[in-house]
Amino acid sequence: MIQCESCGLRFSSLRPSDQELDAHYSGYGDWPDSEVTRLRYREVLARLASYRSNGRIFEMGCGAGYFLEEAARAGWDPHGSTVGAASLELCRSKGLNVVAADTAGDVFPSAHFDVAAAFEVVEHLRDPAVEGALLRRLVRPGGVFYCTTPNFDSLTRRLLGPRWRVISYPEHLIYFTAATLASWLRPFGFRLARLEVTGISPGELRRVMRTRPVGPSDPGEPAAAGGAAAVRDLDDRLRAATERGAVMPAAKRLTNDALTMSRLGDTLKAWFIRVSP
């Protein structure tokens, strides 16, 4: 891992080739559907509604298309980009307007979208400057780009160190902090409007107590072994629990406020306004 002396951004010292990425993402297909995640999408869409003008919304790295489906239900005209044949085929089978990621800059006109969004995608980028230039072209002045990404300064990463599951070549190549994410799109005509730092993964923290490192290549481990499936299962059950009753959602909001102030949460959530033509 390398840290830029100028801006402080951390990134992989290795740059995967097109062939390496094609091979990696050809097997991509683990897109668990979750009502809690869909609820989060609906909440984000409600906050994006004030930016609606032409009604077009774009998702970078749309996976199975769940966010695009929710956007369509909310009255948006949804479009997306993705990598990997499985994702492209699945989204198109649903009737979604999705293109291969490397063609998005050629397919869509300039200033075409009110909103662009990327959920846990920007850490996958080989060159964030290239994607910044793409967003500058696609999002209209006055529009917004919303993204989420793992937080390198999180409490979880500090505790797990090299065992932090996010460090995973060639999948994850860029490691943002609140400061480096805030400055990323400034040269491309965007202004950071809001930055939230939320969430702690109990499943990941439980791994702090384990003696055997568990790497990102363990997606098929049974829950008892503490692999990715166990982490996701525990986190999903606790996320669902926080939606019930009146006390838990309030406690969650207070926790996330504290995590945002301390910058120790697992996830960075940023809102960038397109301010210049």
Mean pLDDT of all residues in the chain?
87
Residue 126's pLDDT is 94
Residue 151's pLDDT is 97
Q: How far apart are CA 194 and CA 81, in angstroms?
A: 25
Q: What is the mean pLDDT of the segment spanning 88-97? A: 96
Question: What is the CATH topology of the domain spanning 11-200+268-274?
Answer: Rossmann fold (3.40.50)
Beta bridge partners of residue 10, listed in sequence order:
3, 175
Percent of the chain exceeding pLDDT 90 equals 68
96 class by beta-carbon count within 10 Å (0-12 exposed, 13-18 middle, 19+ buried): buried
Q: Which of 46-60, 120-134, 189-203 has the lowest mean pLDDT?
A: 189-203
Q: How far apart are CA 127 and CA 122, in angstroms?
A: 10
Q: What is the mean pLDDT of the segment spanning 106-115? A: 97
Domain coordinates in residue numbering, the chain: 11-200+268-274
Q: Which of 73-82, 106-115, 171-180, 218-227 has the lowest mean pLDDT?
A: 218-227
**Given a cut of 60, is residue 153 above it in pLDDT?**
yes
Residue 262's pLDDT is 86
Q: How far apart are CA 7 and CA 185, in angstroms?
A: 12
Q: Collect all residues with Cβ–Cβ distance below 8 Å to 261 and sequence separation of at least 6.
A: none
Residue 185's pLDDT is 97
pTM reported for the whole predicted model: 0.86
**Given a cut of 80, is residue 22 above it in pLDDT?**
yes
Which tokens belong to 61?
């790295």
Residue 162's pLDDT is 85
Q: Which of 24-33, 89-98, 177-186, 238-247 has the lowest mean pLDDT?
A: 238-247
Q: In this predicted model, what pLDDT tens digit does every residue of 196-251 receive, in sequence order? A: 999 887 777 776 666 455 444 444 333 333 455 555 565 555 556 566 555 556 67
Which tokens belong to 155?
């409490």
